[in-house]
Amino acid sequence: MIIRQGFKFRLEASDTQGARLRVLCGHARFVWNQALAKCHEAADAEGEYVPRYETMAKWVTAWKREPDTEWLKEAYTDNLQQKLKDLDTGWQRYFKKVEGAQRPRFKKKGKSRDSVRFVNFQKYCKIDNRRVKLPAGLGWVRFRKSREIVGAIKNCTVGFEGGRWFISFQTEREVSEPAHPSASMIGVDMGVARFLTLSDGTFIEPVSAFKVNQGNLARAQRALARKVKFSANWQKQKAKINRLHSRIANLRRDTLHKASTQISNNHAMIVIEDLKVGNMSRSAKGDVDNPGVNVKAKSGLNRSILDQGWYEFRRQLEYKQAFRGGGVLAVPAHHTSQTCPECQHVSPDNRTSQARFECVKCGFKENADLVGAINIQARGHRVLACGEFGLPDSVKQEPVRNREEVAPSAAHAALGIPHRRC
Ligand SMILES: [Zn+2]
Same domain, 214 and 317: yes
Same domain, 152 and 231: no
Share of the chain above pLDDT 90, in %: 21
189 assigned to active site: yes
Same domain, 19 and 135: yes
Residue 180 placed within a domain: no
Residue 420 placed within a domain: no
289 assigned to active site: no
Using the mean position of ligand 1's atoms as its centre, give its distance from the Cα of residue 359 in Å. 5
Using the mean position of ligand 1's atoms as its centre, give its distance from the Cα of residue 344 in Å. 6
Using the mean position of ligand 1's atoms as its centre, give its distance from the Cα of residue 370 in Å. 15
Same domain, 363 and 218: yes
**Degrees, nearest 5: CA angle 203-323-333:** 45
Return the amino acid letter for 86. Answer: D
Domain boundary among 174, 195, 227: 174
Using the mean position of ligand 1's atoms as its centre, give its distance from the Cα of residue 363 in Å. 6
Using the mean position of ligand 1's atoms as its centre, give its distance from the Cα of residue 288 in Å. 43
Using the mean position of ligand 1's atoms as its centre, give its distance from the Cα of residue 371 in Å. 11
Model confidence pLDDT, tens digit, residues 21-36: 998 888 888 999 989 9
Same domain, 10 and 91: yes
Same domain, 301 and 373: yes
Same domain, 247 and 352: yes
Model confidence pLDDT, tens digit, residues 286-313: 444 444 444 444 455 555 555 557 778 8
Q: Which of 56-60, 72-76, 148-152, 320-324 has the lowest mean pLDDT?
A: 72-76
Same domain, 210 and 102: no
297 Ramachandran zone, left/alpha/beta (phi>0; psi -120 to 50): alpha
Given 189, 200, 287, 358, which residue is catalytic? 189
Q: What is the mean pLDDT of the chain?
A: 79
Same domain, 50 and 197: no
Residue 230 placed within a domain: yes
273 assigned to active site: yes
Residue 421 placed within a domain: no
Same domain, 201 and 145: no
Which helix (H) or strand (E) segment is 402 a member of? Answer: none
- The residue among 134, 96, 102, 107 whose CA lies nearest residue 35 is 107
Same domain, 33 and 103: yes
Given 273, 318, 388, 405, which residue is catalytic? 273
Using the mean position of ligand 1's atoms as its centre, give its distance from the Cα of residue 218 in Å. 45
Same domain, 141 and 227: no
Model confidence pLDDT, tens digit, residues 350-373: 888 878 899 999 989 999 889 999
Using the mean position of ligand 1's atoms as its centre, give its distance from the Cα of residue 342 in Å. 5
- The residue among 324, 335, 47, 372 whose CA lies nearest residue 199 is 372
Q: How many independent structural domains does the chain possess?
A: 2
Model confidence pLDDT, tens digit, residues 118-152: 888 888 888 888 899 998 888 899 999 888 888 89
Provide the residue range defining the domain that includes 296: 185-414
Residue 186 has a pLDDT of 93
Residue 168 placed within a domain: yes
Residue 303 has a pLDDT of 52
Residue 381 placed within a domain: yes
Given 88, 114, 318, 369, which residue is catalytic? 369
pLDDT at 90 exceeding the cut of 80: yes
Domain boundary among 174, 208, 226: 174
